[in-house]
Structures are given as C-alpha cells and as structure tokens.
Amino acid sequence: MNRKNCVVLITILLTGLFVFTSTAFADSPTVVVNGQPLMLDVAPLVEDNHTLVPLRTIFEALSASVDWDGSTQTVTAATACDQLKLTIGSLTAYKNGSPLALDVPAKIVGNGYTMVPLRFVSEALGASVEWDDATKTAIISSATNSTPST
C-alpha cells in the first residue's frame, strides 16, 4: 500500500470515529446540575427507561466525596448528612445503612467507567430531578447548591 492510500485510509477511519462518537453523544441525554451542564467522560446510558451516568461526575457535582473499593466493586458517596453505597450488579443500595431497592443496578462499561442510576443517586443525596423530554435533559437541583453569590 502506498503512502497516499495509507493517508486516505487513516482519514476515513478518523472521520468515521469522529462521526460515531459525535452521534453517540448527540443521541444521549444531557445532564444539568444546578443550572450547569455536566461534562461527562462517557455518554449517559439509557437502560430500561433509566439514565445511568458516570459515578464520579454525578457524585462530585452533588458535593459528595467518592470512595471505590475494587475488591468488592462497591462505591461509597458521602456528604455532610448522608452516606450512599452501591455495589456493581446489585439491585440493593444502602443509604445511611438502610437498604433501598434499585430499578437498575450500577454497572461497569467501556474502559472501566462505573455507571450509576442518575435519578436514584441524585434523590438519595437530597437533590430533585426533573426530566425534559423535548430536549432529553435531566435537570438536577441540589439543596447543597454552592453557586457563589454576586
């Protein structure tokens, strides 16, 4: 294969990758927390009509610290008031030690991204969630909104 053909092939592959990535994110829901769109490392997933988002991004946006135990595949999020534990694949989460049922479990996708159910996690940490079907946007309002006043 000559140099010109290699350049054309690489250009086609890169263009296809860009279009695929752009399309994947374009079809995905958007997440807004306290009026600010979240920048996600991986596109949200919709599974059984539930939106799953990368755990660290959503927990930190809700002012929660995050701890990951790889040996048990358990994530713990903590705020000043609450502690939330989710285990990959489990339909039971724990808020302050009390069990809560999940409609869909947390899961690991792609290159190790842990995805958690957006509505459950947000509401368990004291936030309210609205869904705008026209724009496919999850709007989260947190009681711990730390937007600086002017």
Which of these, 145, 117, 124, lies nearest to 49 by C-alpha position? 117
What contacts 49, CB < 8 A, 6 or more positions away? none
Q: What CATH number is given for 30-141 in this structure?
A: 3.30.457.10
Cβ contact 131:137 at 8 Å: yes
Average pLDDT, rounded, for the chain: 81
Tens digits of residue pLDDT in 17-57: 443 433 344 568 889 999 999 898 888 888 888 889 998 88
> Structure pTM?
0.70
